C-alpha cells in the first residue's frame, strides 16, 4: 500500500473507538456507480493502455484514494447492485445466474439495506438512476416499456428503503421514467444520462442550506447499451461511440462533484465512485478498441460477464476531505459488498447478525490503520460459475471465461476441454500473473483443494464474515457447475 500521509478526522477516530458520532460529524454519502465501465477505462488506472480522456474521474482520484484491487460482487448488473445495497452476495438469493428483467424484488422485505441503515441514523435518502433489482408495475412483471401512470412496487422505496427515486428500472425499460412509485413519462434513450445528471445536480442544490445529512445513490445508465452519446459528445474520443459515451459519463461524475462544491457540501461528503462490472465486450466493440490501442480492462483478462478479473475488478475511488489523504493509492482487497459495513463503522453503528453477511469494513484502509482487512472474495460469473480469491491466489471453478469471452460454457465446449486434457479449474497466482494466463492447478493440487474447501465453507455458513451462521435463501447452492 502506498500512502503519502493521512489526516484522520475526528469522525473516523470516534468510529474506530466505537463512540457514537455527533450530528455535525455525520458525513453526507454520495455513491456514483457507472454501468459497464471496466477497470481500464480510467486514465488514472490505465495510463499506458487507456486512450479515453477521463479528467473528472481522474480529479476525483487525485482528491482521495484509488483502490487497485476492488471487485464488484458479480460480473453482471443485478447481483452487484444487490451486494452494494445489502452487503450480501447475491448468489445466496434465488438469482443463481444472469440478471433480472423485472418481477418481485431480489431484496427481501425485512432485509437491511444501506438506505435503511442511513435513514435510521437520520439521513435523507435518494436514488437517481438505474435500479435493476426487481420491480412490479401495477402488480405485474413487465420486462419492456410501461405506460405512464403505472404504479411501482418492489422498488427502491418499499424494498430499498429510499425516500426518493427518480430514474428507470433496467436497459430494456430505458424509455420508462419513474418518479418515486409512479411512471410519469416516456423519454428517448439518448436523453437518459443528461436527465439523470440534471436530477442529481438538482437534488444536491436543494441541500444547499440544509443541516440534515443525506445519502445520494447515483447508478448511471452508461456506458451500458444502448450506446447513445449526445451530439455534444459524438466523435469526441476519436475511437468509437462507446468511448464517446465513457467521456460523457465522466462529465456526469464531474457535474455531481461540482454541484457538491457549489452547494457548500463537498467538505462534509464521502464520495465513492465505482462500476457494477467490467466493460461489455460486444457493445463496446472491444476488439475494435484494442486495435486502436485502448484496452478497457487494462492489464486484466476478460471483460463483463467473465470470471476472469476483467469481469469484476472495477474502478473504485474514494474522496472524503479531511479524512482520506489526496493522491493516495491502496492495494487492499475490497468488494462493493463492503460499503454498508464501512458506513456503519463510520457512524459507529452495530449491524445485526442477519445483515451484511459478506461485508468487511475498509474504513481502516481509508484512514491509514494497518489491519488484516479482507482476505477472501467470492466471484461469480454471468453463467453462475464461482471463483474464490485468497490473497495472491485465485481459484476459478471452470476451464475458461465462464462468461462471454471466448467459448461460451456448454456441454460441447466442456467436452472439448476434457478431450484436450485441460484442467477443469483454473488456479492463478495474481502476484505473478495478473493477466491469468498460467494455470497452476496441476502443479498445486493441495492449494486447489484448500481454496475449494474454503469456498464450500463460505457458501454453507450463509456468510463469509465472523458471526453466527445464517441461512441462504435457497438450499444446495451448486458451486461445481458443469453444463
Contact 133, 107 (CB under 8 A): yes
Q: Average pLDDT for residues 121-128, to the nearest whole number?
A: 98
**Cα–Cα dist 16/9, whole Å:** 11
* Domains of the chain, earliest start first: 10-374 (3.40.720.10), 377-461 (3.30.1120.10)
**Of 22-31, 111-120, 299-308, 416-425, minimum mean pLDDT range:** 22-31
Q: Average pLDDT for residues 113-117, to the nearest whole number?
A: 98
Residue 25 has pLDDT above 90, yes or no: no
**Cα–Cα dist 320/326, whole Å:** 9
Q: Average pLDDT for residues 187-200, to the nearest whole number?
A: 98
Q: Cell 461540482 maps to which residue?
A: 258
Residue 232 has pLDDT above 90, yes or no: yes
Residue 16 has pLDDT above 70, yes or no: no
- Give the whole-number percent of the chain exceeding pLDDT 70: 95
Instruction: Give residue 483's pLDDT band: very low, low, confident or very high (50, 70, 90).
Output: confident
Kindly report, residue by residue over 134-192, the tens digit of the pLDDT: 999 999 999 888 999 999 999 999 999 999 999 999 999 999 999 999 999 999 999 99
Contact 221, 162 (CB under 8 A): no
The angle subtended at Cα 314 by Cα 319 and Cα 439, nearest 5°, is 140
**Cα–Cα dist 35/56, whole Å:** 17
Kindly report, residue by residue over 420-449, the tens digit of the pLDDT: 888 999 999 999 999 999 999 999 999 999
Residue 2 has pLDDT above 50, yes or no: no
pLDDT on residue 422: 86
pLDDT on residue 22: 34
Instruction: Give residue 267's pLDDT band: very low, low, confident or very high (50, 70, 90).
Output: very high
Kindly report, residue by residue over 352-372, the tens digit of the pLDDT: 999 999 999 999 999 888 777
Mean residue pLDDT of the chain comes to 93
The three cell numbers of residue 259 are 454541484
Q: Based on C-alpha coordinates, what's the Rg of the chain?
A: 21
Kindly report, residue by residue over 270-292, the tens digit of the pLDDT: 999 999 999 999 999 999 999 99
Q: Cell 441461512 maps to which residue?
A: 471
**Cα–Cα dist 309/231, whole Å:** 34
Sequential DSSP letters for 149-202:
TPBEESSTTTTT--SEEEEES-GGGTTEEEETTEEEEE--HHHHHHHHHHHHHH
Residue 246 has pLDDT above 90, yes or no: yes
**Cα–Cα dist 125/115, whole Å:** 6
The three cell numbers of residue 448 are 486447489
pLDDT on residue 11: 41
Q: Average pLDDT for residues 334-345, to the nearest whole number?
A: 98
Kindly report, residue by residue over 90-109, the tens digit of the pLDDT: 999 999 999 999 999 999 99
Instruction: Give residue 13's pLDDT band: very low, low, confident or very high (50, 70, 90).
Output: very low
pLDDT on residue 20: 33
Local structure of 255: helix, strand or coil: helix
Query: Among positive and negative, which fits the CA dihedral 364, 368, 369, 374?
Result: positive
pLDDT on residue 407: 86
Greater model confidence, 187 or 11: 187
Q: Cell 463512540 maps to which residue?
A: 19
Instruction: Give residue 471's pLDDT band: very low, low, confident or very high (50, 70, 90).
Output: very high
Longest CA span, the chain? 68
Residue 197 has pLDDT above 70, yes or no: yes
Amino acid at each position: 500500500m502506498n500512502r503519502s500521509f493521512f489526516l484522520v478526522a475526528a469522525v473516523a477516530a470516534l468510529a474506530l473507538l466505537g463512540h457514537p458520532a455527533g450530528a455535525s460529524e455525520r458525513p453526507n454519502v454520495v455513491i456514483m456507480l457507472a454501468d459497464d465501465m471496466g477497470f481500464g477505462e480510467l486514465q488514472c488506472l490505465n495510463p499506458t493502455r487507456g486512450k479515453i480522456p477521463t479528467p473528472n474521474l481522474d480529479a476525483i482520484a487525485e482528491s482521495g484514494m484509488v483502490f487497485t484491487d476492488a471487485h464488484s460482487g458479480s460480473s453482471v448488473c443485478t447481483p452487484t447492485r444487490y451486494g452494494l445495497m445489502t452487503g450480501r452476495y447475491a448468489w445466496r438469493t434465488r438469482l443463481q445466474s444472469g440478471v433480472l428483467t423485472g418481477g418481485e424484488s431480489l431484496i427481501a422485505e425485512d432485509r437491511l439495506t444501506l438506505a435503511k441503515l442511513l435513514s435510521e441514523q437520520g439521513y435523507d435518502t435518494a436514488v437517481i438512476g438505474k435500479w435493476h433489482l426487481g420491480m412490479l408495475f401495477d402488480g405485474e412483471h413487465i420486462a419492456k416499456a410501461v405506460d405512464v401512470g403505472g404504479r411501482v412496487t418492489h422498488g427502491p422505496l418499499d424494498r430499498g428503503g429510499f425516500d426518493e427515486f427518480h430514474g428507470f428500472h433496467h436497459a430494456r425499460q430505458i424509455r420508462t421514467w419513474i418518479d418515486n412509485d409512479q411512471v410519469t413519462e416516456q423519454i428517448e434513450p439518448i436523453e437518459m444520462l443528461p436527465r439523470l445528471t440534471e436530477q442529481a445536480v438538482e437534488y444536491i442544490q436543494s441541500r444547499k442550506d440544509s443541516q440534515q445529512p443525506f445519502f445520494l445513490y447515483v447508478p448511471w445508465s452508461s456506458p451500458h447499451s444502448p450506446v447513445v452519446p449526445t451530439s455534444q459528445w459524438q466523435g469526441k474520443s476519436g475511437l468509437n461511440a462507446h468511448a464517446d459515451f465513457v467521456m460523457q459519463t465522466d462529465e456526469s461524475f464531474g457535474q455531481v462533484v461540482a454541484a457538491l462544491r457549489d452547494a457548500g457540501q463537498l467538505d462534509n461528503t464521502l464520495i465513492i465512485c465505482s462500476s457494477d462490472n467490467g466493460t461489455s465486450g460486444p457493445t463496446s466493440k472491444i476488439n475494435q478498441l484494442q486495435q486502436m490501442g485502448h484496452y478497457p480492462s487494462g492489464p486484466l483478462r476478460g471483460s463483463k460477464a467473465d470470471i476472469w478479473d476483467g469481469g469484476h475488478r472495477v474502478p473504485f475511488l474514494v474522496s472524503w476531505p479531511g479524512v482520506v489523504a489526496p493522491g493516495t493509492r491502496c492495494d487492499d482487497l475490497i468488494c462493493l459488498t463492503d460499503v454498508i459495513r464501512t458506513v456503519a463503522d463510520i457512524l459507529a453503528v452495530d449491524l445485526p447478525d442477519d445483515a451484511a453477511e459478506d461485508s468487511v469494513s475498509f474504513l481502516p484502509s481509508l484512514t491509514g490503520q494497518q489491519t488484516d482487512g479482507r482476505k477472501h472474495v467470492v466471484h461469480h460469473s454471468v453463467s453462475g460459475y464461482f471463483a474464490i480469491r485468497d490473497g495472491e491466489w485465485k481459484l476459478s471453478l471452470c476451464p475458461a471465461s465462464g462468461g462471454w469471452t471466448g467459448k461460451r460454457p456448454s456441454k460441447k465446449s466442456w467436452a472439448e476441454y476434457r478431450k484436450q486434457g485441460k484442467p477443469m479449474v483454473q488456479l492463478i497466482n495474481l502476484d505473478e500473473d495478473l493477466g491469468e494466463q498460467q494455470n497452476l492447478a496441476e502443479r498445486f493440487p493441495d492449494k486447489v483443494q484448500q481454496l475449494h474447501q474454503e469456498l464450500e465453507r463460505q457458501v454453507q455458513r450463509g456468510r463469509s464474515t465472523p458471526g453466527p451462521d445464517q441461512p441462504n435463501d435457497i438450499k444446495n447452492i451448486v458451486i461445481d457447475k458443469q453444463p
